Chain A
Amino acid sequence: MSEETTFFLDGEPIPFTAGQTILQAAHAAGRYIPHLCWHPDYKPHGSCRLCTVSIGGRSVPACATQASEGLEVANRTPELDDARRMLLQMLFVEGNHFCPSCEKSGQCLLQATAYELGMMGPHFDHFYPNRPVDASHPDVLLDFNRCILCSLCEQASARDGKFVFVMGGRGMRGRKVIINSASGRLADTDFALTDRAANVCPVGVILKKRVGFSVPYGQRRYDRAPVSVAQAQEASRE
């Protein structure tokens, strides 16, 4: 005799079970709240802030805020989407993003979210950071130019029991993914293509070698449907 519990996302009722966060429940119900660092298999990280929603005028991250009965949550308001667009622009200028030539293009959550939110340009001056790539591993290329510091690789690798990736450093200049080897090279770790961490990157940092551009334009993940629709479809298949 489970009691029906619901909260409201932009006025639409969303069912949830006790302990679920707003984003978990919305995702399970096929409703899209923009997000980058959240993944249904892992603990909320709360770093990208794309999932910022508003409850009674107060901004909170939907990924880390528990759903509760009758809660009125504002999601796709012009104000919140404006803030999200600014956050996206920040992510684009702090790294080096080459969408048209990136092999993750069309399958990249950052790129797809920028389309979803109508981001037309970077707005801020680019930082042009110097972030070397790591091509040492036989099967995987690491291109940190696209890293948005979401920590999903860290969480996935911890689940793999390998701790290949750890978030370290401080601030814009220092914060980065640290590779678990004395040399700092991926080749000197026990990382393998079969690891969970090999498939979790939402952007184009962890790239499998020799499969780039294998999906033709027009058939890539977010060519077929915008991220808001694609995620709803995927959630309904889960």
Chain B
Amino acid sequence: MDPLDVIDRALAHHHHDGTRLMQILRETQEVLGWLAPETITRIAEGVGWPRAKVEATAAFYSFFHLRPRGDYCLLWSDNIVDQMAGSQALMQRLCEALWLEPGRLSEDGLAFVHTTSDIGMGDQGPALLVNYRTMTRMTPERVDAMAELIRNRAPLASWPAEWFRVEDNLRRTGPLLGEAFAPGTALSAAWARGPEAQLAEIAAAGLRGRGGAGFPTARKWQACRDAPLEAGQTRVVVCNADEGEPGTFKDRVLLNSYADLVFEGMTIAAFTIGARRGFVYLRGEYRYLLEALEATLQRRREQGLLGNGILGRDGFDFDIEIHLGAGAYVCGEESALIESLEGKPGRPRLRPPFPVTKGYLGQPTIVNNVETFACVCRIAEKGAAWFAAIGTAQSTGSKLLSVSGDVAHPGVYEYPFGVSVAEVLEAAGVRNCVQGVQVSGPSGTTLTGEELGRRLCFEDVPTAGALMVFDCTRDMFEVARNFAHFFAHESCGFCTPCRVGTQINARLMDKIAAGRGSQYDLQELPRLHRLLAGTAHCGLGHSAGNPIFETLTKFRPAYERRLKSSDFAPAFDLDAELSQARQMTGREDRAAHLVEE
């Protein structure tokens, strides 16, 4: 098809609306493969924005390409758990089979192979995205067969369907997921209660947000409900399905198999706060879920559970759109997510004003986690008392936990809040002794094997729902180094401490890994952590030093055994600097090296 037609079709599909720029860019790129300069120019004209603003958005997200990415773009999940399952060797094998280097498009424009941040398949890795389709459980045999298909330019549709299968791996259910749900029942119960009583029900249930911070849901909703509306405005309900925290994949399961619980929870939220518009912000890595979710939304419209006159009630109007992200962890932060919804780079906003008063397009907006909406649905259905009786005093209800790493049965487990880490690990089947458990992903907490009696709840170890398990054979320094690179890659670059500090962290970790570190470098790491925690603009920067600080405190020998010197060692390696000169002159003899005496 003519590129101009492709662009114009995407523009028309989204009514030339600049706030829908992300979707316009994605739909264009899905057909054209990348976003050429003339494509950007045409889209800018189409939405009536300055060209540089369109380019700025395209340049922000990992999954938009301003340079050609070939017919096959293969991005390996770089989560530490994928690495432990052998992803790096598999990527190398693929590169050798295709005769190319990671991060560089092949000369013939056929393929591009690289890493990407975690893609939410920690329970069935090594995983990768092939032209943004998820592939799981890679093996050397699959890599070889895949390379053959690529060399023969076989279309993705002809690849074995088995390779694209994503399992739920739901190992244990509880009050949230244990019972079947009939669409409409919770919504009818909420309607019968009325908005104020429904809000009181959420408050009485003690529901706290499931995204990790644990803010009381009813208080957020009350603030949004109370926020004044200007003419033409509505309140907005946003479901944060940007499940980007490495090691977390429980929202993937909710969206795949329990979408009705989530959508109905959102509709109850809309009814409670008086919202007419809803969004699911779906991370780009979950692109494969889009069509099924659209179909569920359409069915709910036909069932009278979305759209105008919901449940046959005049004036109860609410609908949900799915907004697909494009590879940016920071968009999990609610104000960055809203910026992204508006078609802009996902940079966290200065606050106040908070989203509950001025969010999406300046309108009062609530942003809640996928699991929070599922809980809302069950609370509406079964009542606050039922919910409050589960869990602990400060952490009511149950929690979905994504368990990955060194366990026999990785997957999603539902437990009441207050469960001990040991109990979860026992269910998941720990093979060896446990050295460490990373709770809530890189930005969370590192527990040692001696701390497994600790309980998952806001009173003890708060969690967004991830446990990455590392047995005694693992190197906790490498775990922290992986996390350091993750933050350096995902920092939005807005504020000085995070943009530069995460880079310095990653460089120091590399320096130590290369055997060039010293005590001096170990002292730098806590200094950087304090600066980031104290001066960064948003939560990403505040927590970016956490995993380094925690592993340095709890697993110090893993760092110290790598040190070259107890005092200071320079990062600069004179001999390494000559490598290019050696390559150009074709020399590898002894005299071409600076040999340390």
Which residues of A pack against B, CB within 8 Å? 44, 46-50, 52, 59, 61, 64, 83, 86-87, 90-91, 93-94, 124-125, 127, 148-149, 163-172, 174-175, 178-183
Contact = CB atoms under 8 A, between A and B. Distances in A.
A83 B527 CA distance: 10
The 9 closest A-B pairs by CB, nearest first: A168-B56, A175-B493, A163-B50, A166-B52, A180-B52, A90-B500, A169-B59, A171-B493, A168-B59
Contacts of A86: 527, 531
Interface string B45-67: 00000111101110111100000
B499 interface: yes
Interface in B518-568: 527, 531, 534-537
Contacts of A91: 496, 500
B496 A171 contact: no
Interface in B90-115: none
Contacts of B507: 125
Contacts of A148: 496
Interface in B179-235: none
A174 B493 contact: yes
Given A46-B350, A87-B497, A172-B500, 6 more contacts: A44-B350, A49-B496, A86-B527, A149-B494, A175-B494, A183-B37
Nearest to A162: B50
Contact of B490 (A127, A171, A178, A179): A171
A171 B492 contact: yes
Nearest to B58: A168
20 contacts: A46-B537, A49-B497, A49-B536, A50-B496, A52-B534, A83-B531, A90-B501, A94-B499, A94-B503, A149-B494, A163-B50, A164-B52, A166-B53, A166-B55, A168-B56, A170-B60, A172-B488, A172-B502, A174-B60, A182-B38
Contact of A170 (B59, B497, B537): B59
Interface size grouping (class) on chain B: 35 or more
A170 B491 CA distance: 7
Contacts of B488: 171-172
Contacts of B442: none
B51 A180 contact: yes
A83 B52 contact: no
A47 B53 contact: no
B514 interface: no
Residue with the greatest number of chain B CB neighbours at <10 A, chosen from A61, A94, A178: A178
Contacts of A49: 495-497, 535-537
B52 A178 contact: yes
Contact of A168 (B55, B501, B571): B55
B328 interface: yes
A40 B528 CA distance: 30
B504 interface: yes
A101 to B, nearest CB: 23
A175 B503 CA distance: 13
Contacts of B489: 171
B517 to A, nearest CB: 13
